[in-house]
Chain A
Amino acid sequence: MTSPPLTTSISPDRGQSALSELSQETFALTRRLFLQLARRPSTLVAGVLQPLIWLTLFGALFANAPEGLLPGGMSYGRFLGAGVIVFTAFSGALNAGLPVMFDREFGFLNRLLVAPLRSRSSIVLASVLYITVISLLQSLAIMVTAAGLGYGWPGGAGLLLVLVTLLLLVFAVTALSLGLAFALPGHIELIAVIFVANLPLLFASTALAPLSFMPSWMEWLASLNPLTFAIEPIRAAYRGPLDLSEVLLEAPYGDITGFGCLAVLVVLTAGLFLLIRPLLNRKLT
């Protein structure tokens, strides 16, 4: 070992602005997640493959269903498309907590916590950024495939609606998953919750069948399920001329318009972030 100065003092406060420090730490944390992904892409690949299989097989299952069975005379493939897009984003975001949980378990989080982070929200923010990009990429892959299968493509305004809806859902589910990652004792428990939550939430939504196909108890479930409030606007975006004041969901408790669906998602997202805030504050200070 040579002996150039190891410790010529760097003044601790270099007077950088809070914002530049915050973006430096958030960018670095996000970069780490993407480096991990680039070197271990299997989750991303599986996350695209699974919904593609859903779309192809499930779509084919009802290909010969009698015309006019679905509201608005939609083909089943087109009906299913919106469901699979939402499901993809949902199950991607549900995994948001996993990297954080591993960092907790293996002590990497402690390495982050001894650093003078400007705000520890940057740890959460990095996860949200990462999962958002992944989920949107996966959803895009599904949309392109659906278009290739002849299930249509939303127009300009429709595309914007799809984006906004997916973002809201991804934020909400990411918040939930991050909350779980700090509340549960280990990754085994987190994976168990993800596993249990995933499919039932899909089935008890309007992803695979419209409300009118369901017995009334399930109609209730489906019209309380957050996924439904994301699926219906996207389905509307695919259906063509966009009108958010149109009733999209005839729930047993009343009619919900497009604006209504988005409002539910906004409230859900805000509520979940408020709900996990005290937990994160406790665990990260």
Chain B
Amino acid sequence: MALIELRQLSKTYGDVTALDGLDLDVPEACLYGLLGPNGAGKTTTLRILATLLAPDRGRVHIDGVDALKDPRAVRQRLGYVAQEVAIDKILTGRELLQLQGDLFHLPKRLRDQRIDELIDCLSMNEWVDRRCGTYSGGMRRRLDLAAGLLHRPKLLVLDEPTVGLDIESRAAIWDLLRQLVREGTGVLLSSHYLEEVEALADRMAIIDDGCVIAEGTPEGLKQRLGGDRVTLRIREFSDADEAERVSALLQPLEGVQQVVVNRAQGFSLNLVIDGDPVVETMRRCLDAEGLPVFAMAQSRPSLDDVYLQATGRTLMDAELAVAGQRDVKQERRQSMR
């Protein structure tokens, strides 16, 4: 049985559609990545999982429990690490963890023992008795992880856990997440960092416009895409005419699947080809026309290509497109009760 089972989730805020029939299955003891640009519906999905938000339509099952019918049972099984970490600046880290433990009804001795374990595990000894107001971003995130793990949840849900963190904290959090999964905890994280999902996730889903558009293991998704990527520059800066001419020249060659003129990069050509021999064919063809080659780079498909294939735009373009539309005030209101 899947640890998380989401069926046909829909949610709108006013006239903005956040989720549009999202389906998702997350197996047990798996590190699962949700990849997508800001505004794709990642946070909304996670807030529904954390029982902070009810979908307009759809089914939510976590560890076999219907989250809409028995949210309390879900809360007992789930640890949630939100994106904007809300902490009480006046309390110390330890006091915050004690509060959290009491809210999960841990018996006092178990609570304190558990807090000590996590303090060791997350190397918080030095500062856990200082007030939270003095913490750096990395410390806050670690404290929040500890709070999310205090009751030993079966599933840990993290919303962009490493956004804005230094490399060291990021590596520490990655290690911890890997350890959790080895021990049998399910971890679901959202990210708009390709590398993060690629490095961590056993399985992943790409979310765009409120639904899942690709799902599988990162390797599988890349392999399914097939073909090699080639970036070709005739000169350092070609003009549009020349780029179009070369494009027309290479397009009919056997083994060339696709040629795109990339205006943003000085009219370089992005090609998808069947494999190594095609590179030779291309070189011979260009030689015969007396065209130089300034640079040619070949690579296997990346997750960005997977994303591009699935959505028709690169992740970065998608980020830029929503950056202008984000309404911070609106988002804040959505998360406020």
Contacts from A to B (Cβ < 8 Å): 1-10, 12-14, 16, 21, 24-25, 27-29, 31-32, 35-36, 39-40, 104-118, 182, 185, 283-284
CB proximity of B153 to chain A, nearest CB, Å:
8
Contact A108 B88 (CB under 8 A): yes
Q: Which residue of A lies closest to B179 (CB)?
A: A3
Contact A104 B337 (CB under 8 A): yes
- Mask for B194-229, Cβ within 8 A of A = 1, else 0? 000000000000000000000000000000000000
- How far, in angstroms, from A283 to B99 measured CA to CA in the complex? 22
Contact B179 A39 (CB under 8 A): no
Which residue of A4, A109, A116 has the most chain B CB atoms within 10 A of its CB atom?
A: A116
Contact B337 A283 (CB under 8 A): yes
Picked from A6, A13, A40, A115, the residue with its CB within 8 Å of the CB of B183 is: A6
- How far, in angstroms, from A229 to B91 measured CA to CA in the complex? 39
- Mask for B304-337, Cβ within 8 A of A = 1, else 0? 0000000000000000000000000000010111
Contacts from B to A (Cβ < 8 Å): 50-52, 72-73, 75-78, 80, 82, 84, 86-88, 90-91, 95, 98-100, 102-107, 110, 117-118, 120-123, 147, 149, 151-154, 172, 175-176, 179-180, 183-185, 333, 335-337
- How far, in angstroms, from A31 to B90 measured CA to CA in the complex? 13
12 A-B contact pairs sorted by A residue (CB < 8 Å): A4-B117, A4-B121, A6-B149, A8-B152, A9-B152, A10-B151, A12-B73, A32-B91, A35-B95, A107-B82, A107-B86, A110-B335
- How far, in angstroms, from A9 to B185 measured CA to CA in the complex? 10
Contact B120 A32 (CB under 8 A): no
CB proximity of A188 to chain B, nearest CB, Å:
14
CB proximity of B304 to chain A, nearest CB, Å:
31
Residues from chain B with a CB closer than 8 A to the CB of A1 are: 121-123, 172, 175-176, 179
Contact B183 A5 (CB under 8 A): yes
CB proximity of A78 to chain B, nearest CB, Å:
40
- How far, in angstroms, from A30 to B258 measured CA to CA in the complex? 65
Residues from chain A with a CB closer than 8 A to the CB of B52 are: 110, 113-114
CB proximity of B30 to chain A, nearest CB, Å:
14
Residues from chain B with a CB closer than 8 A to the CB of A8 are: 152
CB proximity of A219 to chain B, nearest CB, Å:
42
Picked from B105, B120, B151, B153, the residue with its CB within 8 Å of the CB of A25 is: B105
Q: Which residue of B lies closest to A10 (CB)?
A: B152
Contact A110 B103 (CB under 8 A): no
Residues from chain B with a CB closer than 8 A to the CB of A5 are: 183
- How far, in angstroms, from A64 to B290 measured CA to CA in the complex? 112
